[in-house]
Structure formats: C-alpha cells, structure tokens
C-alpha cells in the first residue's frame, strides 16, 4: 500500500468530522447499490426517485413538528445525499455533507422550512426564534460542555475549511491529529470529484 492510499484510508476511518462525512458517503452508496439490485425498476424512473427525496422532506418536516429532531436530522442527511446522488448538477460534496452532519436543531428546522410548500413549520420557527445556532468544536479534548458553542464564534481551519474550533487554543491542540487530513486535502477534493462523477454518470442513465 502506497503512502497516498494510506493517507486516503485515514480520511475514511477517522473519528473526526471529516471521517464521519466520508463514512456517510460510503454507507449511503453501499445502501443505494444494494437497493438498486433489489428494485431496479425504481432506479429507472426519475419520477420515483424524486418521490423518494420528497418522502424524506415530508417525513423530516413531520418529525420536526413532532419534536423528533434526531429523526429529522437523519431525514435531512438522506435527502441531501439522495439529491446529490441523483441530481443532474451532481451537487454532492464533503462540504455539503459536513454541514448537515454538524447541523444543530435550528439549522435542521430551517432546512425543512425552506423546502416546505406550506406554513406548517412557522410555529416551530417561533419556538426557535431566540435560540442561537450552535456548532461543535472539533477538538475532542475541548473543555466546553459537549464541545458546543455559538456557531458565530467558531473558527474554521483556513486550509481545508471543513473543521471548526471554539478557540485558537483548541485548534493548536488538535493540529497534530488534523494536520494529516489538511496536508491531504487535495486527495479529499479528488474524492469529491469522483463522487460527483459517479452521481453524474448515474444521473445520465435516467435520461
């Protein structure tokens, strides 16, 4: 195994946010391939595929109304991945998935409210009106409770723009772990390129 392959493997198996995003990609595509073998007729119908995305939007919206934000979060991730997988624009990237993986409840609410064709989430929006959006520091040793702080105060890594920290101290403390991904950011971008090519190729088969 060459150095480049080992570095890429580290990106996939890491426990931090980038690793989580890449695992979401791998799990999603594996699941799609498995379902496609069982129900090939569905994957030949653009209308049925659009219905599947619409289903996750609808289910997630109801989950928000019911207060089941964990399931709503899952629905948002599935809808985002499916939209990227099947859309002609191939809008599937690590950055997009990282945003959803890290999203707080207020962001998930905004995600579904933007896609809802009715005003059913207006009351929920009022509940979250005074709530500030939050994010999680990527330093596993962060002293903050749950590593959570206001999103507006988070500092993003200027090199990869994927990971975030609550302070310069946390960023420095985590650098020895994060630097391997940062130095291989070109490989991470190449993974995005490959995922986009896969999405575009599979989208073209539906035309």
Spatial separation of the C-alpha atoms in residues 70 and 51, rounded to whole Å: 22
Is the confidence at residue 37, as pLDDT, over 90?
no
Query: Residue 34: which residues within 8 A CB-CB, separation 6 or more?
Result: none
- pLDDT at position 6: 40
Choose the most confident range, by mean pLDDT, from 116-120, 128-132, 201-205. 116-120
Closest CA to 18 of 180, 181, 171: 181
Spatial separation of the C-alpha atoms in residues 135 and 154, rounded to whole Å: 7
Query: Residue 202: which residues within 8 A CB-CB, separation 6 or more?
Result: 85, 86
* Both structure tokens of 161: 């723009």
- pLDDT at position 107: 92
Is the confidence at residue 13, as pLDDT, over 50?
no
Residue length of the chain: 207
- Helix (H), strand (E) at residue 156: strand 155-156
Is the confidence at residue 198, as pLDDT, over 60?
no
Is the confidence at residue 186, as pLDDT, over 70?
no
The CA radius of gyration of the chain, in Å to the nearest whole number, is 18
Spatial separation of the C-alpha atoms in residues 66 and 43, rounded to whole Å: 31
Give the side-chain half-sphere CA count within 13 A for 108: 29
Mean predicted lDDT score pLDDT of the chain: 77
The pLDDT tens digits for 87-116 are: 544 445 555 667 787 889 999 999 999 999
Provide the terminal-to-terminal Cα distance of the chain, rounded to the nearest Å.
Answer: 39
Query: Residue 162: which residues within 8 A CB-CB, separation 6 or more?
Result: 17, 18, 21, 94, 95, 98, 156, 181, 188
The pLDDT tens digits for 141-181 are: 999 999 999 988 999 888 877 788 999 999 999 998 888 77
**H-helix segments, 67-165:** 69-86, 94-101, 105-115, 122-127
- pLDDT at position 87: 58
The pLDDT tens digits for 131-145 are: 888 988 989 899 999
**How many angstroms separate the Cα of 63 from the Cα of each of 69, 72, 77, 120?**
6, 5, 14, 12
> Residue range 24-30: average pLDDT?
74
Is the confidence at residue 42, as pLDDT, over 90?
no
Tell me the whole-structure pTM to 2 decimals: 0.68
- pLDDT at position 173: 94
């Amino acid at each position: 195994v060459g150095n480049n392959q080992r570095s890429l493997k580290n990106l996939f198996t890491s426990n931090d946010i980038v690793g989580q995003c890449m695992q979401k990609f791998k799990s999603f595509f594996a699941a799609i391939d498995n379902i496609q073998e069982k129900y090939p007729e569905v994957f030949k119908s653009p209308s049925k595929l659009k219905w599947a995305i619409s289903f996750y939007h609808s289910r997630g919206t109801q989950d928000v109304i019911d207060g089941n934000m964990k399931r709503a979060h899952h629905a948002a991730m599935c809808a985002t991945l499916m939209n990227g997988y099947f859309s002609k624009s191939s809008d599937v990237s690590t950055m997009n998935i990282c945003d959803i993986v890290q999203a707080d409840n207020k962001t998930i609410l905004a995600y579904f409210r933007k896609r809802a064709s009715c005003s059913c989430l207006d009351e929920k929006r009022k509940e979250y009106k005074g709530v500030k959006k939050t994010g999680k520091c990527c330093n596993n040793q962060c002293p903050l409770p749950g590593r959570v702080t206001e999103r507006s105060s988070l500092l993003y890594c200027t090199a990869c723009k994927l990971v975030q920290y609550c302070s310069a101290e946390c960023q420095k403390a985590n650098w020895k772990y994060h630097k391997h991904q940062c130095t291989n950011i070109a490989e991470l971008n190449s993974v995005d390129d490959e995922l986009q090519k896969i999405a575009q190729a599979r989208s073209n088969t539906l035309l």
